[in-house]
Amino acid sequence: MKKSTPEQQHLLAQMQQVAQGLAATFAPFCEVVLHDLRTPSHSILAIHNNLSGRQVGDPTTELGLARIADPGYPQVIANYANQFADGRQAKSTSIGIKDSSGQYIAALCMNVDLTQIRSVQHVLGQFGSVDASKAPRESLDPAGADVLRSRIDAFAARLSTTPRALKTEERRSLLRELKDTGCMDIRRAMETVALHLGVSRATVYSYAK
């Protein structure tokens, strides 16, 4: 192995921070592994959210060996099908890291356990399912609320802004307009306006005075 340069050592140190940050963000579903490709027989420098059972000091993969052999090998290979040693299906992304000479010195790899993801999808699918054939016709939205929200959106659009970005005086003008057009007679109008403007009902009452 060639002696490490200060540049290479700096790159590896920075990539360890990147690996740690990615692992914290995507825990617990994504394993993040940092390889030192200069030492393929014991390349793993760090492994976070360990899903594969590998350890620091374990060797690199076939992909790592391919990069070592060919500096022209693709630097980013994203979302490819993979498999853990026990047969679990995975989705992987591998990013090769080059130094200024164009040689691969490291690889950052992310492996997502698809069995965990699919299990969560199944649970969420069950939780979100409804049986329309057994339910009476009902809406949790007050009658006319869509009309009220549309009026508010149109008012904001005329001012080239959004409902939640309206200034205090603009909100007062809006409430006057809604009142003049009878929109404030809609059931739970104050609550609907407050939610759409992102303010409290008390604030809406003060605008309506």
d(CA 184, CA 176): 9
Asked if the model's pLDDT at residue 136 lies above 70, the reply is no
Pairing relation of β-strands 104-113 and 44-48? Answer: unpaired
Partner residues linked to 83 by β-bridges? 89
192-206 pLDDT tens trace: 999 999 999 999 989
Backbone angles phi, psi at 118, to 5 degrees: -65, -30
In the block, which residue shows the tokens 């790159």?
11
d(CA 25, CA 18): 11
Domain regions of the chain by residue span? 8-116, 145-208
Q: What single letter denotes the amino acid at residue 60?
A: T
- For residues 169-192, give the mean pLDDT: 91
Superfamily of domain 8-116: PAS domain (3.30.450.20)
147-178 pLDDT tens trace: 899 999 999 999 988 899 999 999 999 999 99
Least confident of 47-61, 91-105, 124-138: 124-138
